[in-house]
C-alpha cells in the first residue's frame, strides 16, 4: 500500500452523509456509530459524527485532486446538487483559477467545503 492522506470531515448524520455522497458515486466501505468511510475510485473520505455541528459556523475543507474533473462535476449535478453561489448543498461551475488549474467547489449539507481540482500534476 502506498502512503496517503485522507480527509476527516464532520457529519451530523452519517446515514444522510452516506446517502448524499452515494448520489454521485461514493460507496460505503465502513460505518459504525461514530465513523464513516466512503470511496469513489481512488478518492476516500472519512466522516466523524459531530452531533453539535453548526454547518454555517465552521471551516472544515479538503481538496480532491482528480484526473477527470468534468465527470465528477457532472455526477454531482446529476445527483441533484444545485449549482449556486451560496447555500447547502451547492456546487459551483468549473472555472480556471488564477494559478491556472480548473476547479469546482462543493458545499455539502454539513457545511464541508470540497475543492474539486483537475489534477494536472503541475503542483
Q: Mean pLDDT of all residues in the chain?
A: 94
86 pLDDT band (50/70/90 cuts)?
confident
Give me the mean pLDDT over the 34-45 stretch: 97
Domain boundaries, the chain: 8-52+59-118
Query: Is the per-residue pLDDT at 123 higher than 60?
Result: no
What pLDDT is attached to residue 4?
84
Contact indicator for 75, 108 with CB cutoff of 8 Å? no
HEC letters along 60-122: CEEEEEECCHHHHHHHHHHCCCCECCCCCCEECCCEECCCCCEEEEEECCCCCEEEEEECCCC
Q: Which CATH class is domain 8-52+59-118?
A: alpha beta
Give me the mean pLDDT over the 80-93 stretch: 94
pLDDT tens digit sequence for 90-107: 999 999 999 999 999 999
Amino acid at each position: 500500500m502506498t502512503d496517503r492522506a485522507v480527509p476527516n470531515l464532520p457529519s451530523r448524520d452519517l446515514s444522510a452523509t452516506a446517502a448524499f455522497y452515494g448520489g454521485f458515486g461514493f460507496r460505503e466501505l465502513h460505518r459504525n456509530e461514530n465513523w464513516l468511510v466512503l470511496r469513489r475510485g481512488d478518492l476516500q473520505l472519512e466522516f466523524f459524527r459531530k452531533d453539535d455541528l453548526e454547518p454555517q459556523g465552521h471551516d472544515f475543507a479538503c481538496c480532491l485532486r482528480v484526473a477527470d474533473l468534468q465527470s465528477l462535476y457532472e455526477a454531482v449535478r446529476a445527483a441533484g446538487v444545485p449549482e449556486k453561489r451560496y447555500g447547502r448543498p451547492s456546487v459551483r461551475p468549473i472555472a480556471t483559477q488564477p494559478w491556472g488549474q480548473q476547479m469546482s467547489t462543493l458545499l455539502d449539507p454539513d457545511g464541508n467545503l470540497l475543492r474539486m481540482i483537475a489534477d494536472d500534476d503541475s503542483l
